Structure 1
Amino acid sequence: MTMSLPELDPLDARLIGLLETDARRPYTQLASELGVSVPTAQARLQRLLDAGVLRIICWADHVALGYTSEVTLALNAHPDRLPEAVERLCASGPIRYLVLCTGRFDMIAEAMFRSRDELSRFLLDELRSIPGLARIESMLRLRHVKLSTRLLTDEKDSRPAENSALDLDAMDKALIAELQMDARRTPLELARKLNVSESTVRRRLQRLLGRGIIRIVGVTNAFALGYRGVASIGLKVAPGSGHEAAEILASYRDVRTVGIYAGRYDLMAWALFREPADLDHFISTQLSQIPGLRDVEVMPHLRIAKASHRFPIG
C-alpha cells in the first residue's frame, strides 16, 4: 500500500484542515484564512489534488438516497482465480468498497441496496456467479455508530445523520448527482446546469447540508500524513453490551468507522495505524478495555481495489 506522495508543509496541513470541515469554501476565503494570495491558494489545492493527497467529494447519506440495506462481505477466493474475482467484484455496481487483506479472509467488501429483495438477488445470483469465489459471508449492518472523514481536525459528532428516503425530491437528487460529479461547483454553475435560479440552488444546498444529507468535504490520503496501514477489525461481545462497546470503540481517534452488525461479528470497525507496533498497542491495550469483549479478529489491508462515494441516483 505504499505510494509516492509529496512532503507536506504547515501551509498544506492548514489548507487540508480547512477543506476537511468545509470544502465549499471559495478560493478567496481560503486565501484569507491562510494569509496567502488567491493564486497561491489555488495552486496549493491543485497540487494536493493532482498528487492524490486530497479528494473533494460530495458524501451523501445512502438512506436518504433510498439505499436501505447495507452489507459487509467477507470473501475468500481460490488463489489462482483471485485476480479474476477482484476484477468482477470491482465491476459490480452495488459494491462501493473492496479491499484485499490478510487474515481469515482474502477480501472485505461493502455493498448497498435499495431493498432486501435486491440484496437477496445479489447474494444468490450475481455474487455466486463470480468465478473463483470459494467462500462468501455476508453481515448486515444494523446501525452506523461512527463515520469519520477527518484526519487533521476534530469532529463534534461523527455519527451519520438519520434521514428518510422520503426527504428528497427530484430536484434534490439532481443537485446531489451534479455535486457527486464535481463537489466544488458553484451555486451559479449548478443553477445553469439544472435550469433553475441561483437562489433555489442556495436554499436547497443549505437544507441538504444542514440536515446532514450531504457533506462537501476534503478526504485526505492517510498515507500522506504518516499512516502506514489500515485494518478491518471484527469484534464479538457479550449479549447486551454491543451498544456500549460500539460507543467506546468509536471514541478512539484512529478508528474511522464503527458499525453494529448481524453476522459473524457483532461490531466492525476500520482503523488506521502508523506502525505495526501501534496496531499491536491498540489491540492489546485499548481494545482490552471494551466491556463484554469476547473475541477480536484483525485483518490488515493490503490494497484498496475499489473505493467509490457515488451512488446511482434515480
Structure 2
Amino acid sequence: MKEFDLIGRYFANGGHQRKDVIVGIGDDCAVTSVPANQQLAITTDTLVSGVHFLKDAPARSVAYKAVAVNLSDLAAMGAEPAWISLSLSMSHVDEAWMEEFASGLYELTRYYSVQLIGGDTVRGPLAMTITAQGFIPPEAALKRSTARPGDWIYVTGTTGDAGAGLDILKGSREAKEEDREFLVKRHLYPTPRVAVGAALRRIASSCIDVSDGLLADLNHILKASNCGATVHVDRLPVSSALFNCVGAQDAYRYALTAGDDYELVFTVNEEQRGNLETSLASTGVKATCIGQVTGQAGKTDLKLYDEPYQLKDVAGYEHDF
C-alpha cells in the first residue's frame, strides 16, 4: 500500500472534527485557530516497540496509549487538549493491524474532542511520535517549579497497577482473573486525567503526571522547586487488585516506583486545601494526600506508620543512551 493510500484510508477522514481546524490532513501543513485569551500548550512523546510497549501488544492499545500519554502531559499542565499530529513508522502494512490501530486512536480522540490534523508515515521499525496541542488560560499553567515547603502532596487514582499489569503480561506475576483483567487494562489503556488537570488550575501549586514512577516524578517537582518531602507509604492509594496480586510490601514498591500509571501528582498549599474536594467533585476522580513538602532540598523521607521506611529501588524508569 502506498503512503497516501494508507493516509487516505485510515487517517484522513476519521475521528472528531473541530471547528477550530481550518486546514486538516491533505496539505503541507495544518492550519488552526487558537481561541482568544488562551495560550497554546504543546507536548511530544515517542513510543517504540519493545521499549514503551510489548512487541505483541494489541494494536488498539498501542494507539490508545500513544494518545493517552500525550494527553496526560497536557493534563499535568492544566491544558484542554485540542489537536494531535502522528508520525508512524512501520516495517510493512498489515491492514488488520492498521484497522485496530485506527480504532484505538479514534476511541480516545473522540472522547476528548481531539482532532488528528496531520503527521507522516515512513517505513522502519515500529514506532510512533505524537505531538499534542491544547489550550490553557494565561497565568494558569501548572508547573513543576512552584511547590513550597508546607504544601500537601496528593496523587489521583491508584498507583502501581500498570507496572503489575506489565509484569503479568511478561509472565513474571500471576493474578486471579478479575485482578489480572484490571491490572492489565491499567497498563494497556491508561486514563489521562484531563478533567482533573483543568480542575486544579489555580488550586494546585505544582503538578506532574506519573509516567516513570511516583517517587521519580515527585522528585522532578522537588528538584525544580528546590524542596524535599515526607511521604507516608501507608497512605498510598493502592488498589485491592494490586494487594491481592503481590501482597502489601511489594504493593508499596510498585506504588512508589512502577511507571505508566499516568495519574497526577500535585501539591496544594494549606489555604487551597479546603477548595480541593469541591474542585474535584465534578471529575469523579479521588485524590489522596500522601505527604508534605519540606524545606530539606534533595531529601525525601519515607515513613510507614510514622517509622522510617527503607526502599531499595527508588530510581523509577529512565532511558539509557
TM normalised by structure 2 equals 0.28
TM normalised by structure 1 equals 0.28
Which has the higher relative contact order, 1 or 2, with Cα contacts under 8 A spaced 6 or more apart? Answer: 1
By percentage of residues, which structure has more strand?
1
